[in-house]
Chains A and B, each alone.
Chain A
Amino acid sequence: MTALGWLQAIAFFLIILAITKPLGTYMARVFEGERTWLSPLLSPVERFIYRVCGVREDDEMTWYVYALSMLAFSLIGLVYLYLLLRTQKWLPFNPAHVDDMAPDLAWNTAVSFTTNTNWQFYSGESAMSYLSQMAGLAWHNFVSAAVGIAIAVAVVRGLIRTSTKTLGNFWVDITRCSLYVLLPVCIVVGLFLVWQGMPQNFHAYQSVTSIQGFAQSITGGPMASQEVIKELGTNGGGFVNANSASPNENPTPLTNFVEMLLIFAIGAGLTYMYGKMVKDTRQGWAIFITMTLLFFAGFAIAYWAEAAGNPIVHHLGVAGGNMEGKECRFGVAGSALFATVTTDTSCGAVNAMHDSFTALGGLVPLLNMQLGEIVFGGVGSGLYGIIVFVVLTVFIAGLMVGRTPEYLGKKIERREVQFAILAVLVTPVLCLVPAAIAAVVPAGLATLNNGGPHGFSEILYAFTSTNANNGSAFAGLGPNVFYNLLTGVNMMFGRFAVAVPALALAGALAGKTAVPESSGTFSTRSPIFVALLIGVIVIVGALTFLPADSLGPIVEHLLMLQGKTF
C-alpha cells in the first residue's frame, strides 16, 4: 500500500462528503415538490409529461398501489426491451449488423436492465446495436435508477408521515427524479466525458492494426451519454465488454475518478436528503457515517490484499502487488478502490478483472454485495436497504432498553419486523439455493472456467451479484441457457422481493402515530447505535454467508498461502 493510494481514496471520500449536503438538499426539494433553480426550465416539461400520460400530480397512492405501479412499469419496460433485443437486426442504427439476441439471453438481459442489475452475459460490441444500447439499455439505466430512488423516497415518506395510508405518487416521483436529478447531471458530466475523449457518435466500427500487429475492430457509438448514467444510476452495464477497463469507456485517470464519484454521489446525497426529510439531519449523518466506516473497512482489506499480491508470484521473482487483470493506468489502488465502490453500491461497472483479484481482494466485492449493498448502495435501494437494517437494529436494541422499540417515534412491531426480515434477511439468502444447484448439476459446471474453490467463487459471485442487482461479473463463468434463466429469476427476486416488502414496511409505518422522544428512548444518532447497526449488518451478513464464503475465497486464500492456485 502506498500513501498515494490512500490519498486517492481519501480525496475521493472528501469530494463525496462535499457533494452530500448540496445534492441531498436539492433532492429533498425535488421530492417534496418544492421549486428548485431548475424549475423555470423543467416544470413546463414536467407538466407536459403529466398531461400526456394523464398523471394527476396530487393523486396519492397507498403502498400497494405504489408497488403495483412500480411492478407494472417494470414489467412493461421488461417486455419492451425483450422485444427490442429480439428484433434489433431489422431496426436502424445497427452498423455492425448485429443479429437478434437468442430468447434466453434476451430474457436475461431484459431482466438485468429492468432491475438495475446490468448483469451482462453478452459483449456489447458484438451483441448490441446502437439502437438497443440507446433506446433500450440507456432508457432502463435512467428509469430503473429513478424507480429505485422513488421507492426510497416512498419509504422515507412512510417514516415521516403519521396516521395515513399513502406514500406519494409513483409516476410523479420517477418523472421528477429523471427530470430534475438524473438528466441535468448526465448532460453536464456527459459533455465532460466527451471532452476527456470518450466516443459519442454513430460511426461504424473502425478496423485498425494494433502496435502488436493484430487487426482490431473498434466500436464507436453513443458511449459517453450512456457511460454517465451507467455510473450515476448505479447500473454498471458497459457499452463494451471490457466495461470501464476499456480505454474508450474510461479514457483517463480523471474519468476513472469522476466515474467513481458518480457511483457514490446519489447514494451519499440520499442520506442527507433523508435527514432533511425527517427533519433531523443527524439521523441522515448517522447513516452516512455507518456507510463510511463500512466503505473504508472494505477498501482497506481489498487494497491491502491486492497490494500484498500473491506469494506464489513473488517466488517467481516478480515483486509488488497483484497486477494480473488490472489496467496499468489505474494500478492496484485505483482498481481496488473502483472494485470496492462498485460493489458497495449496486453499480457493477468494473475497471479491472475481479476474477483476477487475490482471494481476499475478491472476497471484499463479494461480501459488499452479500451485506446487501448498503454502503451508499444502489441509488435508492441502498437507502431503503439500510433503513430496513436500521429497523431490525432498532428492534433488537429497543428490547435491550426495555421498551417496545421505536424509530423516529414509530413503534416497531410485528408487521414491521415481518417485512424487514423478508426484505433484508430472507431474500439475500435465497441466492444460496441456485448457487447450490449450479455447484452440482452438469449445466452449472459446464461453462465454468476454473475448478476448486476458485470455480466455486465464480458460481457464488454470479448468484450473489445478480441477487443483489449488482451486475459486476467475477467472470470465468460462461452463459448458457441454465445460467441465463436462473440468474434472470434471481435478479427479479433480488429487486422486487426486497422493494415490495420495503414499501409494505413503509405503508405500515405511515399508518402509525409518532411517539414523542423521551429519556426512555435511545438515540438513533449516537455512536453506540452506529456501532450496533454495523454489528447487526456484519454479523447477520457474515453468519448467513460465512459457510459459503469459507468454501470459496477464504479457503482459496489459505491454499494460496500453501502455494496452491486454481
Chain B
Amino acid sequence: MLSQRRLERRPKARSLLDRPILTRAFWDSFRKLDPRWQARNPVMFVVEVGAAATTIFFIRDLVRHGGSPGFDFAISAWLWFTVVFANFAEAVAEGRGKAQADSLRRTKSDAYARVLREDGSEERIPSAALRKGDRYVVEANEIVPADGDVLEGAATIDESAITGESAPVIRESGGDRSAVTGGTRVLSDRIVVRVTANPGESFLDRMIRLVEGAQRQKTPNEIALSILLAGLTIIFLIAVATLAPYSVYAGTHQSVTVLIALLVCLIPTTIGGLLSAIGIAGMDRVMQRNVLAMSGRAVEAAGDVDTLLLDKTGTITLGNRQAVEIISAAGIGARDAARIAYLSSLADETPEGRSIVALAQQAGASLDSARDKLGQAPDGATFVPFSAYTRMSGLDLADGTRIRKGAPDSVLAWVRESGGTPSEELSPTIERIARGGGTPLLLAHNTLIVGVIYLKDILKPNMTERFNRLRAMGIRTVMITGDNPLTAATIAKEAGVDDFLAEATPETKMELIKREQSSGRLVAMTGDGTNDAPALAQSDVGVAMNSGTQAAKEAANMVDLDSDPTKLIEIVEIGKQLLMTRGALTTFSIANDVAKYFAILPAMFAVAYPAMSVLNVMRLSTSQSAILSAVIFNALIIVALIPLALRGVRYEPKGANRVLFENVMLYGVGGIIVPFIGIKLIDVILAALHLT
C-alpha cells in the first residue's frame, strides 16, 4: 500500500533543549553581541553600553593600580553575561526553527522539470527556471518541481516533506483539491500542472523563511510593549544619572561602575532580554502544531479573537454526512425515487453523493450498472456541479430530462422556474428531518418533486467541551452552514455553539464578518475553497487548510498543514499565551526593582549616610557584595526564566478577572518577594566563597 511507504519525512519536532540547538545557540549568543543587532532592543543595548563602559573602567583601574579593579571586573563580567544570556534566550528560541529550515532546504528539489510547450512537446529544464503560468508534467516517483494547480488528471501525492503526515493525499484537477506543492513527491499516476509561483516565492520558500524567522518583524503589541520598556529605561536613566550630582551634594562620590550597575538592575532587563524570545517561541509553538503562520501579527491577533466562525462540515460534524433514508413523494415508487436519487448523485464525488449512491443501490436502483460507472454520467448527460449559489447539483440527461437534488428551497424555486407547481406535501417530512438535525435534500425530476433524501450529520466527539472552553475565554462561536435554519439550529444546539449562520453563501458569510468587525470584534475563520478566499482575506485571522486551493492559502494568514479545522482553537490559546507571557514577565521585571533598590541604595550611601544601613533589610554582607549580588541576580533571572519564556505561561480559560488575579499574585507579588530571597542567597554564597 502506498500509505505505508515511507519517504523522507519532515523530521519530528525536536526538543528545544536538544544538544545541536543548544550548541548553535551558544555560539549565536556571542555573535549577537554585535551592537548593530543589539540596537534593535533599547533595553539590552543600554546594558551592552554599560558593560562596555564598565570594562573600560576596569582596564583603567588595572593600568593605574587605583580603584577596585576586582569589583569593576566582576560587575562588567556579569553585565556582559546579562547581554549574552538574553542573546542565548533568543538564539534558543530561534534554534528549532533554524533546524527545521535546514531540513526543509534539503527537500527543495534542484531536479528537472518536464515543461509542456505550446505544441504539446516536453522539454527538460531545471525546476528553478519555471515561471508562473508554465505547464509541466509530473509522474509517479517524481518530485513536484514547483507549486501549481492540477490541470489534468489526478494523482496520489506524498506531502510528508512539508506536512510531516505520511498518509498520501489525492490531488486532482478542478474543485478544491487541485493545489500541489513543490518539493512533494508523486506516488502514482500522472498530472499536468500549471505553475502558480515563481522561484523564491513558492510555498516551500515562504515556509523556510517563516520557520527561520528571517523576516521577523515586531508585532504591534510587541512594539507597544517596547515603547513602555523604552519609557521605563529613560526614566531610570534619569533617576540614576541625577544620583551623581545628588551624591556630590551629599558629600560622597559614586563610581560610574556602581551607577551603571544600579541602572542595569533597574531597567526592565528581564522582559527586555526575553521579549523577542517570547515572540519567536510563540510562532514556534504554532509551527509545532503544524500550522504555518505568515506573521507574528496573525498569532497575536489570534489571542484577541472575539468571534470564531466555524464551518459546520469538517469542524463541528464529521465531514461525511451519510444518506440514511430516501423518502418518496406520494405516487412515486420507492424504487423510482431511489433510481432518481442514484442518477442525481452519479457524478457527485462528495462523500455525501457517494453515500446516496450506495443507499440507492441498496434500495434496488441497480439499473444498467455495467454502463453507469461511478464518477461518470451516463452517455450524453452533463453533470451540473454543486455551487454555493445554486445549492443544487444534478444531471441533464441526453433526452432533456433534468434531475436535481439540493436544498429544499432552492429545488422548489428551480421547479417553479421550470414551470412546475411543486406540491408542499413533503414539507412535514423536510421539517422533521431538519428538526432532527439532519439535512433534507429535495429530489426533483423535471417539474416533479419525487422525494427527499435524509442526510445525517455526525457530530465530532468532544466538541461541546471545546466550545465551553472558548466561551470561558470570552470567544463567541458561530457555526457556518449551508443547511436550512431548522437543521442548523438543531446542530448548533447539540454542538453547543453560540450562534449559527444558516443557508450561508459566500456573500452572507462576508457580510457576517464585516458586521462583526464593524462592531469592533476580531473574527477568525477557517476555509479551504476558492469561495472562501475573500472571507479569509477579510477576517482578522484566516486559517487555510493545506488541502485547500492556492487562492485560499494565499488569502489566509495561516495555513494548517494538517488541514484540521479545529486547530483554530489551539491557535487562539497560543496567541493568548503569548500576550500573557509578555505581561507576566513585564510585571515580574518591574516588581523586581523594589528589592534591588533595597540592596543597592544603602550600599551606595553607606559612607555618606551610615544611618541608611537600616534600609539594608536583607542584611547583605558588604556594600560591594550587595551591588554585585543584585547584578548577578539580574543576570541569572534571565536564564532562569528562559524555559518560561519559551514554553509560555500556563493558560487556563477561566474568566479574565480570575486570570488577572492569579497572575498579579504570581508575577506581581511573587516578583516583589523572589529577588529579596535570590539576592540574599547570592550574597551568602559570595561571602562564603570570600569573593567580595
Contacts and interface: CB of A to CB of B under 8 A. Distances in A.
Interface residues of A, number: 67
A436 B246 contact: yes
A551 B605 contact: yes
Contacts of B266: 543
B171 interface: no
B242 A548 contact: yes
A181 interface: no
A396 B246 contact: no
B593 A543 contact: yes
Given A404-B221, A520-B474, A439 B580 contact: no
Interface in B641-692: 651, 655-657, 659-661, 663-664, 667-668
Contacts of A516: 306, 519-521
B590 A400 contact: no
A418 B227 contact: yes
A548 B246 contact: yes
Contacts of A418: 224, 227
Interface string A535-566: 10001101111111011001100110110000
A432 interface: yes
Contacts of B398: none
Contacts of B306: 515-516, 518, 520
A369 to B, nearest CB: 16
B224 A413 contact: yes
A401 B227 contact: no
B225 to A, nearest CB: 7
Interface in A387-408: 392, 395-404
Contact of A514 (B248, B520, B593, B655): B520
A425 interface: yes
B657 A522 contact: yes
B587 A400 contact: yes
B330 interface: no
B129 interface: no
Contact of A439 (B231, B236, B249, B300): B249
A399 B659 contact: no
B59 interface: no
Given A401-B580, A456-B250, A551-B605, A519 B228 contact: no
Contacts of B236: 543-544
A547 B304 CA distance: 39
Contacts of B422: none
Interface residues of B, number: 74
Nearest to A440: B245
B471 A519 contact: yes
B611 A562 contact: yes
Interface string B559-594: 000000000000000011111101110110011011
Given A430-B238, A439-B248, A562-B611, A555 B605 contact: yes
Contacts of A430: 238
A439 B245 contact: yes
Contacts of B584: 399-400
Q: Interface centre among A403, A418, A422, A526, by most B CB within 10 Å?
A: A403
Contact of B239 (A514, A518, A548): A548
Interface in B71-96: none
B27 to A, nearest CB: 32
A519 B472 contact: yes
A396 B587 contact: yes
A318 B590 CA distance: 45
A401 B663 contact: yes
Contacts of B223: 414
Contacts of B519: 513, 515-516
Contacts of A323: none
A380 interface: no
B240 interface: yes
Nearest to A531: B664
Interface in B569-627: 575-580, 582-584, 586-587, 590-591, 593-594, 597, 601, 605, 609, 611-612, 614-615
Interface in B411-470: none
B232 interface: yes
B231 A425 contact: yes
B475 interface: yes
A497 to B, nearest CB: 14
A433 B242 contact: yes
Contacts of B243: 547-548
Nearest to B518: A513
B663 A539 contact: no
12 contacts: A399-B579, A400-B583, A402-B578, A403-B576, A418-B227, A439-B248, A439-B249, A519-B474, A548-B242, A551-B605, A555-B605, A558-B611
Interface of A: 392, 395-404, 409, 412-414, 416-418, 421-422, 425-426, 429-430, 432-433, 435-437, 439-440, 453, 456, 512-516, 518-523, 526, 528-529, 531-532, 535, 539-540, 542-548, 550-551, 554-555, 558-559, 561-562
